[in-house]
Amino acid sequence: MSRTTLTNRESGRIVIDTLCHMGVRHYFMSPGARSSPLIAALAETNDITVTVHYDERGMSFAALGHAMVTGLPSVCITTSGSAVANLLPACVEASHSGVPVIFITADRPPELRGTGANQTILQPGIFGTFVRLSNDLPCPDDPSTSKESLIKAISEAVIVATGDTPGPVHVNVPIREPLLEKNEDKAPTPIDPPQFPQITIAQSPLSLGAFFSTEYGVVVIGRLSAGEQKDVPEIIAWASRLGWPVFCDALSGARLMPGVIRHGDWILQQNDVPSPHRVIHFGGALVSKRIGKWLSACRAGDYIQVRESPMPLDPWSQNPNLIRMGILEFCRSFPHLAPASQDWSIAWKSIDTRCALVLQEQLGASDRLSEPEISRLTARVAFSLNHTLFLANSMPIRDFDSSAESLGDKLIPVFGNRGASGIDGNIATIAGIAMASNRPVLALIGDLAALHDLNSISLLLGQPVTLLIINNHGGGIFRFLPLTVDADTRERFWETPHPFGFAHAAAQFGIEYHNPTTVSSLKDCLSSVTNGPKIVECVTDRDENAKLHNSIADQIREWDFKWPR
């Protein structure tokens, strides 16, 4: 007599075999009993990599980092209950960053929902609007479940995660007991995925007319994906032919290239900088709020955004003109540009050079550690050693964005969690990036972000990662925000002061540790390529850091610079 329903073990095997057939090769999981059929299938599958971590939140951020580098979907597998809720922060980041992550969550059967049954919460819909697709499957032993229906559901999840609007998807898998039956067949499931209609973006002929005719235009290269960063040299060459000044975000992969405006955030401390007449904006958002506000003078048809994603990017209510196409494809559509007058671009390069000299005088003349100089040295080391670079949120990415030098034409992949710009999960993300990279990773991170994700340090074991922690014992960024409170109140309620260092954390996980106190000793710590992880902790002072930033800004504000009008 033929069996009409699937066993839990069979359904788990079909799910994993379908994912493998669709090209998924790296899986991240946190163990649990309810997910046993899926875990068993992973254990029985060859030619895949499985990362096991005890914390679902860290595990999911590692999956996020891996998918950032590869552009391919990573799969997260969890048990039921609060384990699923721990995936939400990484899901939010993946959603806003357009990173394909597939969350597969085991669940109690539907009849136990709302009954007070142990480890049972309402999992369907838990990720709300942050997922591109949410699918609550029937139990394997339900008559409606078949091999074909499972293959279709999992294939759709992969296609949506990597499709027109890449991002996270959620597949909820309820499982009845007994959870894991005896293994009867280890042979892979023959997979014949269904055919889904292909989505294409219809492009109307580009006719920008006089858009490029102004001499007061600006090219902006925002955050780019790993794949887009490879095109940066050709994009910059195109912008150079246009003759407009080029502003490159910290996460564009173009920030260290020659010929770009490096210190726009500092320069715009001046009050009399003329606004641009036109802006062509490639890629995603910008780290610098000051640059974004300056660009906001251009509206509607005077502000063109070029990217494939339809996700809105309009924080200044400009109603920009979005052209949905690949950036390189756009540039190649305009191979013969009539260069604009160079006065505007020359002025920007001149003041940028002047700003670079100020930074060198204030930061490079001493061997004393400062936060901007740590960021500049991090860039130099990553460039010279050909490392992948990760920039954590808050002050590290801002100091890099405003103060790093131009170093050369070599491409250095740069990553950060700027979708929702949180300080959670940064160490786990770094670990996932390292797993997918073919080069060591140098990560610049603040003390609060490091404390927030300490339990992910174990994910760094065996990975060539240097975790450079700037420890100013609190949230230094709050010194730069317009908070109308007294210093003691700000210190207690905003800056989160703490007495902690990271030497014991490194010892806990058996990781090499250094505590340099000068620029030269920090350079020595970073100069050698490591085969395993190491933590380098630089202690700075929040008061001195704020004074240094204000001193640089005050010097730039005093300039009497003649702008072309």
Q: Identify whether residues 160 and 290 lie together within a single domain.
A: no
Q: In terms of domains, do 313 and 433 share one? A: no
| Statement to judge: residues 387 and 518 lie in one domain | yes
In a domain, 361, yes or no: no
Total domains present in the chain: 3
Any domain includes 287 = yes
User: Can you give the pLDDT at residue 340?
Assistant: 72
Strand order in the sheet with 414-415: 414-415, 388-391, 441-446, 465-471, 534-539, 512-514
**Neighbour count for residue 1 (Cβ, 10 Å):** 3
Judgement on whether residues 151 and 293 belong to the same structural domain of the protein: no
In a domain, 202, yes or no: no
Residue 284 domain boundaries? 209-351
The length of the chain in residues reads 565
Return the amino acid letter for 305. Q
Sign of the alpha-carbon dihedral angle for 378, 380, 385, 387: positive
- For the record, the structure tokens of 480 come out as 């730069």
C-beta of residue 173 within 8 angstroms of C-beta of residue 6: no
User: What is the amino acid identity at position 69?
Assistant: V
Q: Looking at residue 59, which CATH number applies to its domain?
A: 3.40.50.970
CA distances from 143 to 14, 97, 140 (A): 16, 39, 8
Domain boundary among 174, 198, 233: 174
How confident is the model at residue 271, as a pLDDT?
80
Does residue 485 sit in the same domain as residue 523?
yes
Q: Check if the beta carbon of residue 124 is closer than 8 Å to that of residue 172.
A: yes
> Domain boundary at 308, 324, 351, which?
351
Structure tokens at 301: 């048809």
186 assigned to some structural domain: no
Other beta carbons within 10 Å of 313: 18
Q: Does 154 share its domain with 231?
A: no
Kindly state whether residues 220 and 168 are assigned to the same domain: no
Q: Which residues contact 195 (CB under 8 A, 6 or more apart)?
A: none
Pair (213, 137) in one structural domain:
no
Are residues 378 and 339 located together in one domain of the fold? Answer: no
Choose the final residue of a domain: 115, 150, 174. Answer: 174
Half-sphere exposure of residue 430, counting CA atoms within 13 Å on the CB side? Answer: 38
Residue 518 DSSP code: B
Predicted pLDDT at 202: 46
CATH code for the domain of 308: 3.40.50.1220
Backbone angles phi and psi of 232, in degrees to 5: -55, -45
Tokens of 30: 């946190």
Looking at residue 186, its pLDDT comes to 58
Series of mean pLDDT values for 10-residue runs along the chain (565 residues): 74 95 95 95 95 97 98 96 97 97 96 89 95 96 92 95 95 93 68 61 59 90 96 94 94 96 94 92 96 95 93 92 94 82 91 95 90 96 96 95 95 95 96 96 97 97 97 87 83 88 96 96 89 95 93 91 83
Strand order in the sheet with 217-221: 246-248, 217-221, 278-282, 303-307, 321-324
Q: Is residue 458 a part of any domain in this protein? A: yes
In a domain, 346, yes or no: yes
Cβ neighbours, 10 Å, residue 38: 28
Does residue 110 lie in a domain region?
yes
CA angle 387, 374, 503 (to 5 degrees): 85
**What pTM was computed for the model?**
0.94
What per-residue confidence (pLDDT) applies to 207?
Answer: 65
Question: Are 344 and 409 contained in the same domain?
Answer: no
Residue 421, Cβ density class (10 Å: 0-12 exposed, 13-18 middle, ≥19 buried): middle
What does the pLDDT read at residue 195?
Answer: 64
Residue 364 pLDDT: 82
- Estimate the crossing angle of helix 8-21 against helix 147-161, to 10 degrees: 40
| Phi–psi pair at 171, nearest 5 degrees | -120, 115
C-beta of residue 353 within 8 angstroms of C-beta of residue 542: no
Judgement on whether residues 295 and 417 belong to the same structural domain of the protein: no
378 in helix, strand or coil?
A: helix
CA-to-CA distance for 310 and 251, rounded, in angstroms? Answer: 20
> Is residue 2 included in any domain, yes or no?
no
pLDDT at 153: 95
Amino acid, single-letter form, for residue 488:
D
Query: Looking at the structure, do residues 36 and 79 belong to the same domain, yes or no?
Result: yes
Residue type, 52: V
